[in-house]
Structure 1
């Protein structure tokens, strides 16, 4: 393993309730109720190693994954997609073969960043949003993870069409995707995946028929639920609280 340098992203894990995602910066520190974490003491260590805090607690240094986006360190003023949905969405495209994808809207950038972390080094994500304040937040979050060079931020209404061509996929997380689907099809390569995320049942029908009437095939409407288990000796059972409904995924493919 290479030593951690200034500018590297790192997850600092103290316990399940104290997990921090940050970008290493000389002179910076994180104050917790278990002690102060100085970035200068982390620089030069390796992922997987630990740091002893003043209180005797160990802080473990981990390499960030997509799941770690949800810990303290990134800005998320808007509702974001959950790992269970993002993980499934990523299975709808051939990650190693995809070069250019479209996203709308950007929001806090969690799906944007997940795509950037998962796609090849030469891939580009073109993400559209009409809110400059949200794109500023997404840019901040992308910079923390060091994936900003793979993302092209477009401050434009995707309902007016897109400038890019030969896209390998499209991901829509917006209130009225049915108004966008017919306008982006010509920009997609044959066999490209279209994935839409909507929170309510009312939005499903309009989206489904917008896809079907535009010639999209292999259309599916799905919902994912996640339930974690509590593990105690002789008392293993589901936790009382789970991540149940977050939204519906509608996906299809563009034929020639």
Structure 2
């Protein structure tokens, strides 16, 4: 019996999937040739190793292979990290190592309701929408309409747009929601909205902030202390990948080191 499901409805579980039009596939040829595509009849992917007709993929399953004129292509079920392959990214995006830790530290779960600001290209937005599931909700704010349009497009590619509410507003004026499960900030001056985030959060819920410079860390951390947050941490994550070769395994010469800083804390009940 064939189990027909779509990407993200299976979560990260392994599923036997017959690929249909509208499904998302990662096409892996080699480490330098990896493509994230959404299947549509009549379209094709052109590479320097040969072309692939999407009609030839429809009806196959994840894990199948296709022979190109000069290589073999593997049809893989996308993982979240694959969104960094071909989605639009007109702005700097958060890296998977930071996104994963931010979500883990927030203790959100399927069904949670969270706020994000700003939207940017939508990579954190998409990751949150995936983890919160179809019963959860991401409310994302930004002051730039063009960035939100990009994020909407990226979310639609992955069939996640129904889990996200986009709002065009300067959050220094305040959030419209109360009692949310977490607030995520990726903006130039997050210390200006720490109090607004406090007002929007449930007691004990987390504020998670990402900034690129230590000056921003200091201002945000101290403001969180003033405004009633506890268990505050300022952290940086370093990721180093290894080049594996028999008898000569070593770290790669190029890797992802500094990307930014994460400040996180939890809302306490203010006392007079």
8 Å contact 1:172–1:196 — kept in the other structure?
yes
Counterpart position of 1:253: 266
1:131-170 to structure 2, matched below 5 A, reads: 131-170=144-183
Is structure 2 residue 75 aligned with structure 1 residue 61?
yes
Is structure 2 residue 228 aligned with structure 1 residue 215?
yes
Once residues 29 and 167 of structure 1 are traced to their aligned partners in structure 2, the CA distance between those partners, rounded to angstroms, is 43
8 Å contact 2:108–2:181 — kept in the other structure?
no
**Superposition deviation, residue 98 in structure 1:** 5.0
Is structure 2 residue 230 aligned with structure 1 residue 184?
no
**Superposition deviation, residue 158 in structure 1:** 1.1
Greater Cα shift, 192-201 or 2-11: 2-11
**Superposition deviation, residue 94 in structure 1:** 2.8
Counterpart position of 1:47: 62
1:27 counterpart SS class: coil
Counterpart position of 2:250: 237
Structure 1: tracts of 5 or more residues without a match: none
> In the alignment, which of 42, 47, 54 is matched to residue 32 of structure 1?
47
8 Å contact 1:11–1:64 — kept in the other structure?
yes
Counterpart position of 1:202: 215
Q: 1:95 to 1:42 in 2, by over 3 A?
A: farther
8 Å contact 1:101–1:167 — kept in the other structure?
yes
8 Å contact 1:37–1:53 — kept in the other structure?
yes
Once residues 220 and 160 of structure 2 are traced to their aligned partners in structure 1, the CA distance between those partners, rounded to angstroms, is 31
Aligned length: 254
Any runs of at least 4 consecutive aligned residues in structure 1 with deviations exceeding 3 A, and if so which?
none
Once residues 138 and 18 of structure 2 are traced to their aligned partners in structure 1, the CA distance between those partners, rounded to angstroms, is 29
Once residues 191 and 23 of structure 1 are traced to their aligned partners in structure 2, the CA distance between those partners, rounded to angstroms, is 40
1:91 counterpart SS class: helix
Is structure 2 residue 241 aligned with structure 1 residue 228?
yes
Aligned residues: CA RMSD:
1.2
Once residues 245 and 170 of structure 1 are traced to their aligned partners in structure 2, the CA distance between those partners, rounded to angstroms, is 23
TM score, norm. by length of structure 1: 0.96
After superposition, what is the alpha-carbon deviation per residue over 1:36-94, rounded to whole angstroms, capped at 9, x for unaligned?
Answer: 12111111111121111233x221111211211111x2111111001111111111133
1:80-159 to structure 2, matched below 5 A, reads: 80-159=93-172
TM score, norm. by length of structure 2: 0.90
Structure 2: tracts of 5 or more residues without a match: 1-15
8 Å contact 1:98–1:168 — kept in the other structure?
no
2:155 counterpart SS class: helix
